[in-house]
Amino acid sequence: MRRRDVKAKKALGQHFLTDIEIACRIADTVDIVPDLPVLEVGPGTGALTEHLVAKGRDITVVELDRESIAYLKEHFPMLRGGRLIEGDFLRMDLAKLYDGKPFVLTGNYPYNISSQIFFKMLDYKDIIPCCTGMIQREVALRLCSGPGNRDYGILSVLLQAWYDTEYLFTVEESAFNPPPKVKSAVVRFTRNDVHNLGCDERLFRRVVKTTFNQRRKMMRGSIKPLLAQLDNERGNQPQPMFNAQSSFDHTAFLELPILTKRPEQLSVQEFVELTNTLEKEYTVS
């Protein structure tokens, strides 16, 4: 089987990398953590894989496309013995991959699931100290943007709470077959020193997601749906109705100065502080 015989599947978000220099540069991004095994997601026909293998690293790849799997089996015999996982990365229990030991995540990620890949990475942040790879440029800008930037959003906050994010370089459409309609970018996320956010992490996620879902509103307005949900979940005793969405009195909370901002103006630490303040709203007797 030849590389050109493997057809990119639109349904899988595949765009095969053909530029050797770019493949080499992406492979080099894992060198920041030189001693750990590497998991490559969506290797396709191995354009990146061959440069990773050349580094002498412990490489495992996970691929869903049957044609790509057949090609990899034929041309990458070093992946035999369990180094080629046939399946869906999003369904994998990553804690079982290296017996719960840390590894580096990399790949030319399928465009249609790149955000889902990073949400999954966050679930395994304690064993993924570094993640590198190529994604759509607009997604890369979003993940690496800071407060006050229009690209700053849900995943920006959740990711930057645990990782230092780097936008490394842009990749032109001509580097792929078939060429995508947008530019791509290579990024690297390196685990920071935070081991505890100092707040309820599940509530932190809910605050971030709820407020960004209405990002054009001030926080005062966008957080009200979450207040109503928490009222129902935590069974507070009813107080005089203050709005149409909740029957509990959160007037003092909603007057906090931070709630006059919009979500894209808040830093990770400010979201942490807001989460703690919200938690106190339900613990004060």
Question: Between 236 and 227, whose confidence is greater?
Answer: 227
Given a cut of 80, whether residue 236 has pLDDT beyond it is: no
Average pLDDT over residues 266-275: 98
Q: Is residue 129 part of a domain?
A: yes
Same domain, 61 and 180: yes
Q: In this structure, what is the dihedral angle of CA atoms 151, 157, 160, 161, given to the nearest 10 degrees?
A: 170
pLDDT band at 13 (very low <50, low <70, confident <90, very high): confident
Locate all alpha helices (DSSP H) within the chain, ordered by sequence.
20-28, 49-53, 66-75, 114-123, 137-144, 154-160, 201-212, 219-222, 224-234, 251-254, 268-281
CB 75 within 8 A of CB 99: no
Alpha carbon 185 to its chain centroid, in Å, reads 14
15 lies in some domain: yes
Nearest CA-CA partner of 151 in 164, 139, 169 = 139
Query: Between 39 and 15, whose confidence is greater?
Result: 39
Amino acid at 181: K
Residue 9's pLDDT band (boundaries 50, 70, 90)?
low
CATH of the domain at 62: 3.40.50.150
pLDDT at 178: 86
Are residues 47 and 111 part of one domain? Answer: yes
What the block records as the tokens of 8 is 């990119």
Based on the fold, state whether residues 98 and 214 are members of the same structural domain: no
Q: Could you tell me which of 277, 273, 272 has the C-alpha nearest to residue 250?
A: 277
179 and 256: one domain?
A: no
Q: Do 10 and 140 reside in the same domain of the chain?
A: yes
Question: Does 84 fall in a domain?
Answer: yes
Instruction: Specify the 3-state DSSP secondary structure of 133.
Output: strand
Structure tokens given for 77: 């015999």
| CA pair distance 280, 222, nearest whole angstrom | 19
The answer as to whether 275 is a domain residue is: yes
Domain end, chosen from 191, 221, 251, is at: 191
Tally of structural domains, the chain: 2
Give mean pLDDT, residues 77-95: 95
Compute how many other C-beta atoms are within 10 angstroms of the C-beta atom of residue 196.
Answer: 6
Using alpha carbons, select from 180, 134, 143, 138 the residue that is nearest to residue 28. 134
In which band, very low, low, confident or very high, does the pLDDT at 105 lie, cut at 50, 70 and 90? very high
Structure tokens at 104: 């580096």
What does the pLDDT read at residue 243?
44
Same domain, 224 and 168: no
pLDDT band at 284, cuts 50/70/90? low
Confidence of residue 172 (pLDDT cuts 50, 70, 90): very high
In a domain, 256, yes or no: yes
Q: pLDDT category, 7, cuts 50, 70, 90? A: low
Spatial CA neighbour of 235 closest among 222, 248, 224, 217 = 248
The residues, any chain, with a CB within 8 Å of residue 256's CB and separated by 6 or more, are: 277
Residues 25 and 57 in one domain: yes
Confidence of residue 247 (pLDDT cuts 50, 70, 90): low
Q: Please report whether residue 196 resides in a domain.
A: no
Q: Which of 131, 156, 191 marks a domain boundary?
A: 191
Last residue of a domain, one of 191, 221, 243: 191
Asked if pLDDT for residue 231 goes beyond 60, the answer is yes
Looking up tokens 């041309």 gives 75
Let me know whether 7 and 89 are in one domain: yes
Q: Is residue 180 in some structural domain?
A: yes
What would the pLDDT profile of 34-74 be if each residue is shown by its tens digit?
999 999 999 999 999 999 999 999 999 999 999 999 999 99
User: Contact at 8 Å (CB) between 207 and 275?
Assistant: yes
Q: Which of 202, 258, 199 is nearest to 230 (CA)?
A: 202
Tell me, what's the pLDDT at 195?
A: 94
Q: Which domain holds residue 212?
A: 201-281
- The pLDDT tens digits for 128-168 are 999 999 999 999 999 999 999 999 999 999 999 999 999 99
Is 205 found in the same domain as 187? no
pLDDT band per the 50, 70, 90 thresholds, residue 208: very high
Do 154 and 265 sit in the same domain of this protein? Answer: no
Residues 210-227: tens digit of each pLDDT = 999 998 899 999 999 999
Is residue 41 located within the same domain as residue 139?
yes
Q: Is residue 83 over pLDDT 60?
A: yes
